[in-house]
Chain A
Amino acid sequence: MTFIGLNHYLVVAAIVFVAGVFVMMTKRNAIGILIGVELVLNAVNINLVAFGRYHSTGSVDGRILALFVIVLAAAEAAVAVAICTNFYKNLATIDVDRGDAAKG
């Protein structure tokens, strides 16, 4: 009789993932979309750490993968914010729907 199992964490992660996808679909502000990506990456991290915790031998792999995901998220956020400032400099808005200059 354990109160909290693997599925509890996975359900929380699934809800955060869906919230992130929803944010990515509904926000037109580029920074808002970035916030959605951060939510999705966090959901993945919860999954990785939870699976590592409930692995039969208590493998450390899930935790190390989570660490790499955090590193990649930080790198991605830095580049994305740089792109956003460039976008704003060129178009004077951060609305992603306005960035259709390359549209065929």
Chain B
Amino acid sequence: MQTCSTYSRTVGWTTACGRRAVSAAALIVLLTLCAPVLAQDAPTPGQEAPSLALDAPAEVPAATSDSPVSAVLEAAFFYGFALVVIVSALAICISKNIVRMAVWLFITLGSVAVLYFLLAAYFIATIQLIVYAGGTLVLLIFGVMLTSKSPWARFEIKRGELLAAVVVSVLLAVALIGTLMGTEWPQDQPAEPHAVATLGTELLTTYLAPFEVASVLLLAVMIGAAYLARQEK
């Protein structure tokens, strides 16, 4: 019995390692794909990113680029990475294993960062990669390791609960997407992207008070988390 369980656990580890290798390869491909976007859309102060200017209305004189290739490329990147985001988010929903959930979350966060790049929010994308994919996810994985005897532990839920969750989620999705599809936004043309310097200036002038409050919050969280997780004597 013991041998059998050890054997199955070993097999589980091997399979999971193989899948993780596949996931890591996928992520490397993902990051490689990012490179042309970064190169293409590198923000230059006073100059628009070329992909944004296609077919801008005539009252925007700065929109000069007429390359349809960049627009097609932007659309291709958007659809590709939106698909990755959606698929990995749904994979988090259906996977039972907490470690696999964490790996799928990693892929989701990376692809969301690419969406930020496409939205010309370069600083946010970088912060997303550093803080979320680099920090929060590592924290979650440490949490998994600290709180389970075996990281492959499963928690099954009742069938009724699952049914209720599916019904609520489908209703919510239909309501949200239906509302979005029926809404006409006042502006559907992207505005000129800001330089990162604008973000910093705004953060230290208009948003100085929330900035300071956030720093105090981080200090409080640091002390609180260390206090909560301390070793009992």
A residues engaging B (CB < 8 A)? 1-12, 14-23, 25-32, 34-36, 38-39, 42, 45-46, 49-50, 52-61, 63-64, 66-68, 70-75, 77-89, 94-95
Contact = CB atoms under 8 A, between A and B. Distances in A.
A26 B93 contact: yes
A82 B222 CA distance: 10
B228 A38 contact: no
22 contacts: A1-B55, A2-B55, A2-B190, A4-B75, A14-B173, A19-B90, A21-B169, A22-B93, A25-B168, A39-B108, A45-B112, A52-B121, A54-B185, A54-B190, A56-B186, A75-B221, A77-B136, A84-B146, A84-B147, A88-B148, A94-B147, A95-B155
B187 interface: yes
B98 A14 contact: no
A3 B74 contact: yes
Contacts of A85: 143, 146-147, 228-229
Please list the 5 inter-chain residue pairs (A to B) with the smallest Cβ-Cβ separation, ordered nearest first: A58-B191, A3-B75, A82-B228, A19-B89, A25-B165
A71 B206 CA distance: 18
Interface in B5-40: none
B85 interface: yes
Contacts of B224: 79, 82
Contact of B177 (A11, A52, A59): A11
Most buried by B among A20, A32, A59: A32
A57 B194 CA distance: 10
A63 B126 CA distance: 12
The interface size bin for chain B is 35 or more
Interface in B96-129: 98, 101-102, 105, 108-109, 112, 115-116, 118-121, 123-124, 127-128
A67 B124 contact: yes
Interface in B129-168: 131-132, 135-136, 139-140, 142-144, 146-148, 153, 155, 157, 161-162, 164-166, 168
A54 B191 contact: yes
Given A21-B172, A60-B194, A50 B86 contact: no
Nearest to B73: A3
Contact of B136 (A38, A52, A67): A38
Nearest to B198: A60
Contacts of B153: 29, 94
A18 B173 contact: yes
A94 B155 CA distance: 10
A7 B185 contact: yes
B109 A42 contact: yes
Interface string B193-226: 1100011001100010010001001100110111
Given A31-B143, A52-B121, A70-B127, A64 B199 contact: yes
Nearest to A56: B187
Contacts of A38: 105, 109, 132, 136, 140
A61 B121 CA distance: 12
